[in-house]
A and B are shown apart, each in its own frame.
Chain A
Amino acid sequence: MIELKNVQKSYDGGATLAVADTSLTIERGEFLGLIGASGCGKTTTLKMINRLEEPSSGEILVNNCNVIDQNPEQLRRNIGYVFQGIGLFPHRTVAENVAAVPQLLQWSAGDIHARCEECMEMVGLPFDEYGERSPSQLSGGQQQRIGVARALAARPEVVLMDEPFGALDPITRSELQEEFKSIQQNMALTVVMVTHDMTEALLLADRIAVMREGVVLQIGTPKELLNNPSHDYVRDIVAMPRRRAQRLEELMRNE
């Protein structure tokens, strides 16, 4: 369970707020989508959860413990994180990248190897073929999938994902989305996923938080957002997939 209580974050000593007075509760096993325009504070929110950034005020609880009271390294090792910039280690092989967190947790070599194979299989990049490559020998989409595998390798209960599927083609993307959704459900993972793709959010998330300029405008199930948008902005952004589908249909008819 993740709980944000009146969290604020300013990078410039209070002049502007990257995240303004946000309170959120994410239940154990829940999948929360975080959506909003570029620069609205999504990454900042995510980073505060595993203490990559410290809130300027307010508090954050993970499993009922204030993150400030925990050793930041221990905390981060127990939370999976898929980075917006992917951030694979270029001097390590793909397999070593996937093994990074288990290694920090000092798993046995055998366990690490088995888990690497499993995770790489999961994201569709078999260990035997890709394990020994260097990240630079992978396509952007493949790197992103390894980023997901790395986040899941140590079997965390909480996974934070910052646009994890952004660089994938639609088909791989929807395969991976489904794959991930079933993993999430089987393992009862608590997930916070940042995305720019409303369709993705609607399909995967149990609830969606819509952010604008550091403020969470509305949080609710896809249905609630579609039926009862609290702001015009929320209505527009949630309606986007449907509007696009209609456009496509019109295009087809005009042919």
Chain B
Amino acid sequence: MSDNLREQLLLLPAYFQGHLLLTLAAISMGVLISVPLGVWAEQSARVKRPLLAVVSIIQTFPSLVILALVVALLGGRIGFLPAFIALTLYSMLPIVRNTVTGLESVSASVIDAAKGIGMSPNQILREVKLPLAMPVIVAGIRTAMVWTVGLATLSTLVGATSFGNYIFTGLQTRNLVAVTVGSLASASLAVGLDSLVASMQWLLEKRSEAVDSARLKRIRISVYGVTAIIVSLALYGLIPKPRADFVVAGKPFTEQYIMAGLLTQELEEAGFNVEQRLGMGSAVVYEAIRNGTVDVYVEYTGMVWANFMSRESNPGREGIRSGVVEFLEEQNVTTVGFTGFRNRYALAMRRDRARELGVTSIEDLIPIAAELSAGSDLEFFGRTEWFRLRDLYNMDFADKLTFDVSLMYTAVAGRQVDVISAYTTDGRVAAYDLLLLDDPRNALLAYDAMILASTNAAAQPEFMRILEALVDSIPDAAMRQANRLVDVDGESITVALEYLRGEMTKN
């Protein structure tokens, strides 16, 4: 077994547990809410239409949007709760719809008979309609369950543990083993839970047919056994773990995984108990450090400047630095210090292509941009930096394509686009022999990496002492090479982290 695979499998119990608890909790809550709603809707036409409309609309929202909205509604709270609420909302449509359909499909002559022998409306519902609608309702629950297992992977982005941790880390660090393990695990869980519900349903139906063979008994015992094991595994996660002293977080790209690893190691070596929340969305992790659910992570000045302060100007590196530090202080976030490297956006071209066109700076692009195609990550062309660049240089590209980061680099390397929005510390810049273009008009912001801490954590001198030792300790070149080890050479985060620590000039 490769080291990488072993490393991934070691993470399996925790991720499995997190994913399972999230899925089962959301599905149970979904059933508890949706079945009564379905019953209500079936009894009242006035309720039915609006209710079905609302649950359908929830379903049409992209799942990421629902997650983000729930986080926002909870005042920036991250972790299990927002993921649980979002998944519950998402599970509702198939259950509500199938409950209504199932109840409506119960034959009128049976309901008539139930009424005719003197059952009360309540008894008719509980003893006739619900049991007869059950197969349809269960089918809805199974649909919801398969969706929920799949969607639960996204909850990684709001800081809940799930198989999504494998998938997001793996995609960003080009660790295909992690992606494969995560996807297989998620798919198996979906199939497994689905078959479990199917066999429970089968057993319930068999109950009325009184075929009590030894085989049936064996099946029954195993189904109940597996159910008990799964439920207790999920519940095990509810036992409060020894509270971590600090929560270290990171966003979903290689450099962030390495830096989160570094922060974790430094704190753990000092004897602290650390919890990691990796691969979180940018806005989510920022919100979390403000309200103290996250204690420390690495942020970039330009990011705070443009995204959280919504500034459109570019006062230069120092101007941004001081503006950001001041702003963060008002936001109750402590800036521990700058790590030394910066990772900003830069326009980049293949060196040979740049030479061919005679380009060394963005100004050289002005006369030819209208014939060039450009690629960016998912964000760049939507950022104010791009708008400023476009205005300052008064140019635009013929084509603007957005890519996943890895694909963006392969696109420029493969000559499918001429220019990309590269990251200056990205190892792939050197690996693909890209030329970073000068920016004489200062359109692009500086992105100094800095360590941010929550107010609570910053109040602890020992914590601050450990982190302050990291200030100005990582040169650009060291970070670029560490990133390159992962992104280009396919090494694990652990290997890159080891390299980085060797290169660090700790004070």
In the bound complex, CA of A50 to CA of B112 (Å): 12
In the bound complex, CA of A78 to CA of B128 (Å): 20
Q: How far is the CB of B425 from chain A (nearest CB, A)?
A: 65
Main SS class of interface, B: helix
| Residue from the list A73, A83, A132 in contact with B120, Cβ < 8 A | A73
Q: How far is the CB of B296 from chain A (nearest CB, A)?
A: 58
In the bound complex, CA of A50 to CA of B120 (Å): 14
In the bound complex, CA of A91 to CA of B107 (Å): 12
Chain B, 6-40, contact with A by CB distance < 8 Å: what is the 0/1 string?
Answer: 00000000000000000000000000000000000
In the bound complex, CA of A90 to CA of B111 (Å): 11
In the bound complex, CA of A85 to CA of B116 (Å): 12
Q: Is A150 at the interface (CB under 8 A from chain B)?
A: yes
- Say whether, besides A91-B132, A104-B123, A132-B210, A52 and B112 are in contact (CB < 8 Å): yes
Query: Which chain A residue shows the least CB distance to B134?
Result: A91
| Residue from the list B114, B120, B210 in contact with A89, Cβ < 8 A | B114
Are A87 and B109 neighbours in the complex by a CB distance under 8 Å?
yes
Q: A-B contact count, CB below 8 Å?
A: 63
Are A76 and B128 neighbours in the complex by a CB distance under 8 Å?
no
| Residue from the list B114, B118, B120, B123 in contact with A75, Cβ < 8 A | B118
Are A83 and B116 neighbours in the complex by a CB distance under 8 Å?
yes
| Residue from the list B113, B118, B132, B208 in contact with A87, Cβ < 8 A | B113
| Residue from the list A74, A78, A89, A132 in contact with B113, Cβ < 8 A | A89
Are A93 and B208 neighbours in the complex by a CB distance under 8 Å?
yes
Q: How far is the CB of A49 from chain B (nearest CB, A)?
A: 11
Q: Is A81 at the interface (CB under 8 A from chain B)?
A: yes
In the bound complex, CA of A83 to CA of B115 (Å): 11
In the bound complex, CA of A134 to CA of B115 (Å): 21
Q: Is B117 at the interface (CB under 8 A from chain A)?
A: yes
Q: Is A247 at the interface (CB under 8 A from chain B)?
A: no
Chain A, 49-88, contact with B by CB distance < 8 Å: what is the 0/1 string?
Answer: 0101000000000000000000011111110010101111
Are A73 and B116 neighbours in the complex by a CB distance under 8 Å?
no
Q: Is B131 at the interface (CB under 8 A from chain A)?
A: yes
Query: Contacts of A77 on B, CB cut-off 8 Å?
Result: 117-118
Query: Contacts of B110 on A, CB cut-off 8 Å?
Result: 87-90
Query: Contacts of B210 on A, CB cut-off 8 Å?
Result: 93, 132
Query: Contacts of B58 on A, CB cut-off 8 Å?
Result: none
Q: Is A92 at the interface (CB under 8 A from chain B)?
A: yes
Are B113 and A104 neighbours in the complex by a CB distance under 8 Å?
no
Query: Contacts of B72 on A, CB cut-off 8 Å?
Result: none
Q: Is B209 at the interface (CB under 8 A from chain A)?
A: yes
Query: Which chain B residue shows the least CB distance to A76?
Result: B118
Query: Contacts of A85 on B, CB cut-off 8 Å?
Result: 109, 112-113
Are A50 and B113 neighbours in the complex by a CB distance under 8 Å?
no
Q: How far is the CB of A186 from chain B (nearest CB, A)?
A: 23
Q: How far is the CB of B317 from chain A (nearest CB, A)?
A: 74
Are A100 and B117 neighbours in the complex by a CB distance under 8 Å?
yes
Q: How far is the CB of A89 from chain B (nearest CB, A)?
A: 6
Are B118 and A74 neighbours in the complex by a CB distance under 8 Å?
yes
Query: Contacts of B116 on A, CB cut-off 8 Å?
Result: 47, 50, 52, 76, 81, 83, 87
In the bound complex, CA of A73 to CA of B123 (Å): 11
Query: Contacts of A73 on B, CB cut-off 8 Å?
Result: 118-120
Query: Contacts of A132 on B, CB cut-off 8 Å?
Result: 209-210
- Say whether, besides A85-B109, A87-B110, A76 and B123 are in contact (CB < 8 Å): no
Query: Contacts of B112 on A, CB cut-off 8 Å?
Result: 52, 83, 85, 87
Query: Which chain A residue shows the least CB distance to B209?
Result: A134
Q: Is A4 at the interface (CB under 8 A from chain B)?
A: no
Q: Is A225 at the interface (CB under 8 A from chain B)?
A: no
Chain A, 86-115, contact with B by CB distance < 8 Å: what is the 0/1 string?
Answer: 111111110000001100100000000000
Most chain A beta-carbon contacts within 10 A, residue among B109, B114, B116, B209:
B116
Within 8 A of B (CB), among A98-149: 100-101, 104, 132, 134
- Say whether, besides A91-B132, A104-B117, A134-B209, A83 and B123 are in contact (CB < 8 Å): no
Are A134 and B119 neighbours in the complex by a CB distance under 8 Å?
no
Chain B, 116-152, contact with A by CB distance < 8 Å: what is the 0/1 string?
Answer: 1111100100001001100000000000000000000
In the bound complex, CA of A72 to CA of B123 (Å): 14
| Residue from the list A83, A90, A92, A104 in contact with B118, Cβ < 8 A | A104
In the bound complex, CA of A212 to CA of B119 (Å): 32
Q: How far is the CB of A150 from chain B (nearest CB, A)?
A: 7
Query: Contacts of A88 on B, CB cut-off 8 Å?
Result: 110, 113
Are A81 and B117 neighbours in the complex by a CB distance under 8 Å?
yes
Query: Contacts of A150 on B, CB cut-off 8 Å?
Result: 117
Query: Which chain B residue shows the least CB distance to A147?
Result: B113
In the bound complex, CA of A47 to CA of B118 (Å): 13
In the bound complex, CA of A83 to CA of B113 (Å): 7
Query: Which chain B residue shows the least CB distance to A87?
Result: B113
| Residue from the list B109, B117, B132, B209 in contact with A76, Cβ < 8 A | B117
Q: How far is the CB of B46 from chain A (nearest CB, A)?
A: 22
Q: How far is the CB of A248 from chain B (nearest CB, A)?
A: 35
Query: Contacts of A72 on B, CB cut-off 8 Å?
Result: 118
Are B118 and A89 neighbours in the complex by a CB distance under 8 Å?
no
The chain B residues found within 8 Å of chain A, CB to CB, are 109-110, 112-120, 123, 128, 131-132, 208-210
> 24 A-B contacts, Cβ less than 8 Å apart?
A47-B116, A52-B115, A72-B118, A75-B118, A76-B115, A77-B117, A83-B112, A83-B113, A85-B109, A85-B113, A86-B109, A87-B110, A87-B113, A87-B114, A87-B116, A89-B113, A89-B114, A91-B132, A93-B210, A104-B123, A132-B210, A134-B208, A134-B209, A150-B117
7 closest A-B pairs by beta carbon, nearest first, are A87-B113, A85-B109, A77-B118, A76-B118, A132-B210, A81-B116, A87-B109
A85-B112, A85-B113, A150-B117 given; name 20 further pairs at CB < 8 Å: A52-B116, A73-B118, A74-B118, A76-B115, A76-B116, A76-B118, A81-B113, A81-B116, A83-B109, A83-B116, A86-B113, A87-B114, A87-B116, A89-B110, A89-B113, A89-B114, A91-B208, A100-B117, A101-B117, A132-B209
